[in-house]
């Protein structure tokens, strides 16, 4: 874990390739976003701009739910901030590795940090890969798929049937599960993970949007911090 | 291909706050020196966030989801590789939905 960290073209390519399977799932999700954006009345340019600038699927879908005329600008921006607060935890968890890289590269790469690229990068770095460009590469793959899918969804409108019938929605869960297996260090992880699961499930029932990720992550990690299992 | 100026402003604002969340955690840790306890907390974040991402989705996926998840975990633990685990999980869900109309 204390290995030298690099930032190479090879690392970026490794990330780009690793992200391909999940990018298919993200693409299916992006098509759904494009279809709904069109139904909501966003032009292709507006939907594509949102996907290119915000690049955070859940918050974009939530925004569509609030998208009425006249636009509630403040509510849209605040809601987006809240839905995406989980990124703060994710970014903090990458600090031990990224801190050794030039700031410009880190801040550029972090633009492309989404749930999937974060999880894959974490897996690569804890596995001893040691290349920070993995985040940029995996994020860029997802970015391209996300933008393309948004466009397809906007243009195809109602023609697309439910992409979940191909099991693509499970791709996210499967990737996160496989990465979690790699993080398992022993029984000390059990209680923090259980706390995270219970809080996340409860929050997903009682709170809207993506609060459950932030709250479950906080609960589980705090239990971990106070157990000092290692 | 028209863009409403208010929509443009809104999207730019949404993008700005989202980018702030992306760099916020990293930025903050560059400003403060974490104590031992904070370090233990940081180490516990990845697993806790991953579990939080998974748990509600898994519960919603029902019996098919559990079977697919068990297969995914088994293969990930045996092979230490992402792709085979992912493919098996997705195929199980797809087959269950297309053939048995379950899940």
Nearest to A94 among B12, B26, B92 (CB): B26
Same domain, A212 and A163: no
Choose the weakest-confidence range: A5-19, A89-103, B12-26, B44-58: B44-58
A92 touches chain B (CB under 8 A): yes
> Is residue A1, in this structure, part of any structural domain at all?
no
A173-188 residue pLDDT tens: 887 898 899 888 888 8
Same domain, A133 and A206: no
Same domain, A43 and A153: yes
CA distance A126 to chain B (A): 11
Q: Which residues of B touch A226 (CB under 8 A)?
A: 37
Same domain, A156 and A216: no
For residue A53, give the chain B residue with the closest CA.
Answer: B15
Same domain, A150 and A117: yes
Domain extent listing, chain B: 1-32, 45-103
A196 with B47: Cβ contact below 8 A: yes
Residue ranges making up the domain that contains A229? 185-230
What CA–CA distance (Å, rounded) separates B15 from B13? 5
> Is residue A4, in this structure, part of any structural domain at all?
no
pLDDT attached to residue B32: 85
> Is residue A101, in this structure, part of any structural domain at all?
yes
> Is residue A126, in this structure, part of any structural domain at all?
yes
Averaged pLDDT in 10-residue chunks for chain A of 230 residues: 79 95 85 85 95 92 84 88 87 93 96 95 86 96 97 80 64 83 88 96 88 89 78
Same domain, A168 and A198: no
Burial tier of A148 (Cβ tally within 10 Å: 0-12, 13-18, 19+) = middle
Instruction: Tell me, rounded to whole angstroms, the distance of Cα B56 from its chain centroid.
Output: 11
A50 with B2: Cβ contact below 8 A: no
Using alpha carbons, list the distances in angstroms from residue A71 to A208, B1, B6, B7, B15. 21, 19, 7, 7, 16
B76 with A178: Cβ contact below 8 A: yes
Same domain, A145 and A212: no
Q: Model confidence at B44, in pLDDT bands (50, 70, 90)?
A: confident
Same domain, A160 and A203: no
Counting the structural domains of chain A, the total is 2
A89 with B25: Cβ contact below 8 A: yes
Instruction: Tell me, rounded to whole angstroms, the distance of Cα A152 from its chain centroid.
Output: 21
Per-residue burial over A53-66, b if 16 or more Cβ lie within 10 Å, else e, is: bbbbbbbbbbbbee
Q: The whole model's pTM is what?
A: 0.78
pLDDT attached to residue A229: 47
Query: For B67-94, what is the mean pLDDT?
Result: 90
Same domain, A139 and A189: no
Of A115, A109, A145, A129, nearest in space to A34 by CA: A145
Same domain, A206 and A111: no
Same domain, A159 and A192: no
B73 with A177: Cβ contact below 8 A: yes
> Is residue A3, in this structure, part of any structural domain at all?
no
Same domain, A55 and A160: yes
Chains A–B, number of C-beta pairs less than 8 Å apart: 287
């Amino acid at each position: 874990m204390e290995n030298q960290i690099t930032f190479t073209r090879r690392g970026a390519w490794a990330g780009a390739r690793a992200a391909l399977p999940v990018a298919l799932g993200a693409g299916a999700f992006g098509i759904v976003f494009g279809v709904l954006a069109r139904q909501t009345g966003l032009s292709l340019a507006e939907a594509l701009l949102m996907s290119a600038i915000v690049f955070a699927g859940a918050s974009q879908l939530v925004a569509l739910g609030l998208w009425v005329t006249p636009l509630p600008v403040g509510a849209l921006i605040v809601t987006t901030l809240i839905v995406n607060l989980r990124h703060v935890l994710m970014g903090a968890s990458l600090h031990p590795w990224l801190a050794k890289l030039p700031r410009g590269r880190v801040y550029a790469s972090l633009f492309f940090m989404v749930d999937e690229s974060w999880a894959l990068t974490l897996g690569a770095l804890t596995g001893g890969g040691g290349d920070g460009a993995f985040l940029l590469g995996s994020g860029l793959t997802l970015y391209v798929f996300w933008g393309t899918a948004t466009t397809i969804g906007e243009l195809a409108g109602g023609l697309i049937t439910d992409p979940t019938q191909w099991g693509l929605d499970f791709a996210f869960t499967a990737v996160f599960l496989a990465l979690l297996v790699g993080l398992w260090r022993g029984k000390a992880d059990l209680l923090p993970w259980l706390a995270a699961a219970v809080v996340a499930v409860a929050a997903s029932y009682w709170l809207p949007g993506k609060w459950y990720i932030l709250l479950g992550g906080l609960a589980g990690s705090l239990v971990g911090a106070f157990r000092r299992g290692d | 291909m028209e863009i409403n100026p208010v929509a443009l402003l809104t999207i730019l604002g949404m993008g700005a706050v989202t980018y702030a969340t992306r760099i916020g955690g990293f930025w903050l840790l560059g400003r403060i020196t974490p104590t031992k306890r904070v370090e233990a907390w940081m180490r516990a974040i990845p697993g806790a966030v991953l579990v939080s991402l998974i748990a509600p989705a898994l519960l919603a996926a029902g019996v098919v989801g559990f079977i697919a998840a068990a297969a995914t975990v088994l293969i990930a633990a045996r092979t230490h590789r992402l792709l085979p685990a992912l493919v098996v999980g997705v195929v199980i869900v797809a087959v269950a939905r297309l053939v048995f109309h379950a899940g």
